[in-house]
Each structure stands twice: as structure tokens, then as C-alpha cells.
């Protein structure tokens, strides 16, 4: 059998990720914030799902990563991705209640946010930009490496007012490898705006 080329693998992983993001509930026309987009492994498939009526904010603190993402966006002819370099790393420069979905994949951990106060600040900022009926999809990684657990990490998310509604066990791309991951959906609690 012919070995798959790098290009075939990339195409396959984009399709796989598109199916994953559809399964977790991203839909045509939505506005999605890909927080910590890096080189766009999730940005590109999300942009395909929301189509031209929707919008993806691809946000990263690293200019180089964002440039790579935007190059890919251009080469694929996508016109619905807005790149954002975050200068204030703990606040999201978007309007209140303006986003339907936030992707927090492989970013909410002590490697990027060593202090609990900072994780709280970024989660609170996400809470503000999220619409009332929106959701945050979280892929928690590196827990054992940083001496924590799913329970503790989930409590931190719940402490800012989110409630966990769903959990998916899916194959996800993590550092260019396909691994089994736990993906959680969080929504705003009813008592808060």
C-alpha cells in the first residue's frame, strides 16, 4: 500500500477536526473565538463550519504563530477569520456578549498561566465576551505534568460561574499527534448574565 504523504495527513487531520468541532456543536453562522490558536489547527476547520456568514477570531500572544495561521487562512481562500494578537494577555479585546463559542484547547494550564489568579482572570474575561447561550469548549491538557487533576482544573472553571454540561471522549490533535482527549462543554449559569 502507498504511504500517505504529509499533505494527505494534513488534509485528513483537518477533516477529522472539522468533524470533531461539528460534534461539539459549532454551527454555520456562529462567531467563534479560538483562544491560543497557535498555527490554526482548530481555526481552519472552525472557519469551514461557520462558513462566510460566521466569523472566527484567531487570537494568540505570539505574532509568529498568528502570521502562520493567517497565511494558511489566505491560502485556503477563507475570508471569515480575524487574527488578534493579544497585547494584554489576561483580557480579551472583544465586546461583551459577542461570541457564541470559545475554544480553549491545550492552553488553560500552568505552563501558560502559572498563577491561579491569572487563570481566573482569563476565564472571567471569557465569561464576559461569551453570549448568554454560548459555550466554551475546553480541552484540558498537561494536568499531571503540572501536578493537578481534572477535578481541580474543572473546579477552577466552575468557580467563575460556568457549569459543565457535556463531556466528549474524542481523538484530538495534540502537538501534531492524534491522541484520546476529554473535551468539556461549559455554559454560563442561569443566575449570571
Ligand X SMILES: C[S@@+](CC[C@H](N)C(=O)[O-])C[C@H]1O[C@@H](n2cnc3c(N)ncnc32)[C@H](O)[C@@H]1O
Tell me the residue number closest to ligand X, measured at CB.
36
Using the contact rule CB under 6 A, the part of the chain among 2-10, 23-31, 38-46, 151-159 near ligand X is 38-46
Minimal distance in Å, beta carbon 142 to ligand X? 9
DSSP states of 144-186 as a string?
TTTT--HHHHHHHHHTTTEEEEEEEEEEEEETTEEEEEEEEEE
For residue 130, give every residue at least 6 positions away whose Cβ sits within 8 Å of its Cβ, in sequence order, or none.
97, 99, 100, 102, 136, 188
Closest separation between CB of residue 141 and ligand X, Å? 8
Pairing mode of beta strands 55-60, 81-85: parallel
Interface with ligand X includes 33 (CB under 6 A)? no
DSSP letter at 107?
Answer: -
Choose, by CB under 6 A, the member of 17, 41, 69, 137 that binds ligand X.
Answer: 41
Point out which residues pair with 28 in neighbouring strands.
none
The piece of 34-42, 50-58, 127-135, 151-159 that touches ligand X (CB under 6 A) is 34-42
Q: Residues 6 or more apart from 151 whose CB is under 8 A from it? A: none
Minimum Å gap between C-beta 49 and ligand X is 16
Can you tell me the distance from the alpha carbon of 19 to that of 40, in angstroms, rounded to the nearest whole number?
16
Per CB under 6 A, the list member of 42, 57, 127, 162 interacting with ligand X is 42
Counting contacts by CB under 6 A, is residue 127 touching ligand X?
Answer: no
Distance between CA atoms of 114 and 135, rounded to whole angstroms?
A: 24
Site map for ligand X, 51-70, x if CB under 6 A? Answer: --------xxxx--x-----
Least distance in Å: CB of 163 to ligand X?
A: 23
Site size with ligand X, rule: CB under 6 A: 16
Distance in angstroms (rounded) separating the CA atoms of residues 135 and 127: 9
Contact footprint for ligand X (CB under 6 A): 36-38, 41-42, 59-62, 65, 86, 89, 105-107, 112
Amino acid at each position: 500500500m502507498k504511504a500517505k504523504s504529509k499533505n494527505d495527513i494534513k488534509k485528513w487531520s483537518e477533516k477529522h477536526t472539522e468533524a470533531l468541532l461539528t460534534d461539539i456543536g459549532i454551527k454555520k453562522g456562529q462567531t467563534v473565538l479560538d483562544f491560543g490558536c497557535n498555527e490554526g489547527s482548530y481555526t481552519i476547520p472552525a472557519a469551514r463550519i461557520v462558513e462566510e456568514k460566521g466569523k472566527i477570531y484567531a487570537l494568540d500572544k505570539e505574532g509568529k504563530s498568528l502570521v502562520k495561521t493567517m497565511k494558511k487562512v489566505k491560502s485556503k481562500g477563507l475570508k471569515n477569520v480575524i487574527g488578534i494578537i493579544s497585547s494584554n494577555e489576561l483580557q480579551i479585546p472583544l465586546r461583551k456578549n459577542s461570541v457564541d463559542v470559545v475554544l480553549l484547547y491545550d492552553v488553560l494550564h500552568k505552563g501558560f498561566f502559572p498563577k491561579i489568579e491569572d487563570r481566573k482572570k482569563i476565564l472571567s474575561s471569557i465569561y464576559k465576551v461569551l453570549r448568554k447561550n454560548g459555550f466554551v469548549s475546553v480541552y484540558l491538557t498537561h494536568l499531571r505534568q503540572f501536578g493537578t487533576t481534572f477535578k481541580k482544573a474543572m473546579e477552577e472553571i466552575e468557580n467563575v460561574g460556568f457549569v459543565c454540561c457535556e463531556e466528549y471522549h474524542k481523538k484530538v490533535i495534540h502537538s501534531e499527534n492524534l491522541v484520546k482527549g476529554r473535551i468539556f462543554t461549559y455554559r454560563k449559569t442561569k443566575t449570571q448574565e
